[in-house]
Structure 1
Amino acid sequence: MSSFTLHLLRHGEPEGAGRLLGRSDARPTSAGIAACVERACGLAVHGLISSDLQRASKAARAIGGSLGLPVTIDPRWREMDFGAWDGLATTQIDNAALGRFWTNPDANPPPDGETWSTLVKRVTAAIDALPSRPTLAVTHGGAMRAALAALCGFDHRQVWAFDLPYAALLSLKLWRGDAPSAQIIGLRS
């Protein structure tokens, strides 16, 4: 069974950092874009994919310019939709409701938001659509964690054990098949 490398790069720092920025289309800072370009420097990839949100897509376009690659935009790589909580700092959200969400995000999603399993299914579909060649996806922390759940079998609690700050690069060796799987081969933050 053949494998290929999938690099997942979290977007750089956006305006309004420190809030739940799911579907909010926060602009990236110039320092955030530069951090992503620096992190991607030297990657041997043949494909470049990005979330459609500008905090990821603007970084992807800058990376594409430096690597000489076109960018494919795929909204399935978006961050989790936090519904009514979108754009809020966690201190602005009822502690009990937030605690229930972190404990069981499928049973207690944000009001009018996305469930964890919906995010995992969406990201799994994006992964399934990838060509089997070294690829870089510029995406979001939640989508990266959903990829770990889908490919490595981690549950929602285990994926939070990974620190994925802005411009973090998670590299996976991915195998196709009836049940795709992956091995973590690098994490730089």
Structure 2
Amino acid sequence: MTRARLVVEADGGSRGNPGPAGYGALVRDPRTGRVLAERGGFLGVTSNNVAEYSALVAGLRAAVEIDPDAEVEVRMDSRLVVEQMSGRWQIKHDDMRRLAAQARAVVAPDRVTYTWVPRAENAAADALANVAMDQRTTIARDLGRPDDVHPVVPGRLASGAPVRFDDAQPVTVVLVRHGETPMTVSKAYSGSSVVGPSLTDRGREQAARAAELVHSIGQDVWGALPDPSELLASPMVRTQETAAVIGARLGLPVRVEPLFAECDFGEWEGLTAAEIEARWPGQLERWHDDAAFPAPGGESIEDVGARVRAGLEAVRAAGVGRTVVVVTHSVSVRSAVGVAIGANSSSWARIRVAPASVSIVRLWADGASEVTVVGAPSGA
């Protein structure tokens, strides 16, 4: 009989080494990528290596709670733990020997394999460890079992959905605008020619609330949709920071997609509407009303629309029957909604897209599309 397989991702950290330390671990279903359990904890003052081993033990215990007979692949960015637990390096430190023995007692060594991964591929576990350290708290979330996934179900049609005369399934694209930045507060034009700024404290709170809303897709809200299984983000700092929070909640890695970058505002970058009007009288209003009119040295709304259309087509071509989350910007979200509904490009600027709001479009392989949600607030 073939054993079930689970993946454990684990990470630990110590601020000062030794210093205030914590760990994070999650269990993932390798078939779907879905996170089944999350664990984290604050350890007080200890070393980074002890924190890494503590993460391993917590992750293995969570896996056993899901399926005590499963084979487990452990993925960590600690070369030391991976090599020592694989038997290639000796364990010399007493605390690490004790924790290694605990790990071997949780799951028989012949049912565990260890894989080193780059830090960027261990972001979800790292985020849990940082929450544990920041809040000095314990995290224990059980999110389901491997057979509890929420795939798209033929015939499970939401009330009010467009009528189709076949069972074809679309790809669902969840568009999340990034959280607040200092430029959002000052109402300055913040485009793609400058990678910053970062989120404000309020922006990080908004990102966390958006993550909870996105996590509920296919479960508590918009139940006719499949669970998110892929996460894309614009290359800007604000979208990467927002996506990191969402990725930690979903248990998904973030893939950068430049096609969903914000509009390049050219010479208007960093200026308020009043400052732009003083130097380029009438041009900002024309940019909003005439989608073909570019910002000086930058892009028009139609330019952004062409990029976003290409991004949506790439998502559609990669497969239907799934949900893809895209963390992007206000002009890009308006463009995606406008493209999906077939609206005249000069009307896209009328769509309200607040920070950390969620919009949803659905794309079928035959070219049909649906706008499901526009600008749903995340509650922040």
TM-score, with length taken from structure 1: 0.91
- Aligned counterparts of 2:352 and 2:375: Cα–Cα separation in 1: 9
1:129 is displaced (CA, Å) by 1.5
Which position in structure 1 is the counterpart of 2:223? none
Change (3 A) 1:123 1:186: closer
Give the root-mean-square deviation of aligned CA atoms. Answer: 1.6
Aligned to 2:250: 67
Which residue of structure 1 lines up, in the alignment, with residue 330 of structure 2?
A: 141
The amino acid that maps onto 1:22 is G
The residue type equivalent to 2:372 in the other structure is: I
Deviations 1:114-142 (A, max 9, x none): 12222111111111121332011110000
Q: Which of these residues, 84, 100, 116, is aligned with residue 286 of structure 2?
A: 100
1:180 Cα deviation from its structure 2 partner: 4.5
Pick the structure with greater CA Rg.
Answer: 2
Q: How far apart, CA to CA, are the structure 2 residues paired with 1:30 and 1:48? A: 23
**Where does residue 177 of structure 2 map in the other structure?**
10
Q: Is the 8 A contact 2:177 2:354 kept in 1?
A: yes
**1:27 to 2:198 alignment:** yes
Q: 1:180/1:121 Cα in 2 relative to 1: closer, same or farther (>3 Å)?
A: farther
More strand by share: 2
| Cα distance in 2, alignment partners of residues 65 and 46 from structure 1 | 13
2:376 matched to which residue of 1?
188
TM-score normalised by length of structure 2? 0.47
Question: What amino acid sits opposite 1:7 in the alignment?
Answer: V
Q: Kindly report which structure 2 residues correspond to 1:72-87, keeping only aligned pairs within 5 A, or say none.
A: 72-87=255-270
Is residue 121 from structure 1 mapped to residue 290 from structure 2 by the alignment? no
CA contact (8 A) 1:7 1:135 kept: yes
Cα distance, 1:174–1:37 mapped onto 2, change above 3 Å: farther
Change over 3 Å in CA distance of 1:34–1:98 after alignment to 2: same
Answer whether contact 2:361 2:369 (CA < 8 A) is retained: no
Indicate if the aligned counterparts of 1:11 and 1:33 stay in contact, CA closer than 8 A. no
> How far apart, in 2, do the equivalents of 1:188 and 1:149 lie?
16
Q: Is the 8 A contact 2:174 2:360 kept in 1?
A: yes
- Moved >4 Å (runs of 4+): none
State the SS of the aligned residue for 1:16: helix
Task: Name the CA distance, whole Å, in 1 between partners of 2:211 and 2:368.
Answer: 25
**Aligned equivalents of 1:109, 1:80: Cα separation in 2:** 10
Q: Which residue of the partner structure matches residue 86 of structure 2?
A: none
Q: Structure 1: how far apart are the matches of 2:338 and 2:374?
A: 16
Alignment of 1:160 onto 2:356 = no
Is the 8 Å Cα contact of residues 36 and 63 (structure 1) preserved in structure 2?
yes
Deviations 1:116-173 (A, max 9, x none): 2221111111111213320111100000011112211112343233211101100222
Deviation at 1:188, TM superposition (A): 1.0
SS in 2 for 1:65: helix
Q: Match for 1:45: what amino acid?
A: P
Tell me the distance in 1 between the aligned counterparts of 2:374 and 2:191.
Answer: 26
Q: Cα offset for 1:69?
A: 0.6
Deviation at 1:76, TM superposition (A): 1.0
Q: Which runs of 5+ in 1 are unaligned?
A: none
Paired AA for residue 174 in structure 1? L
Cα distance change of structure 1 residues 102 and 56 upon mapping to structure 2, 3 Å threshold: same
Q: Equivalents in 1 of 2:282, 2:374: separation in Å? A: 35
- The number of residue pairs the alignment matches comes to 187
CA distance in 2, matches of 1:49, 1:9: 10
For the Cα contact (< 8 Å) 1:9–1:36, is it kept in 2? no
Identity value in percent: 27
Contact 1:173 1:185 in 2 (8 A): no
Residue identity in the other structure for 1:188: A
Structure 2 unaligned regions, length at least 5: 1-167, 218-226
Which deviates the most, 25-34 or 70-79?
A: 25-34
Task: Please tell me whether the aligned partners of residues 79 and 141 of structure 1 are also in contact (alpha carbons under 8 angstroms).
Answer: yes
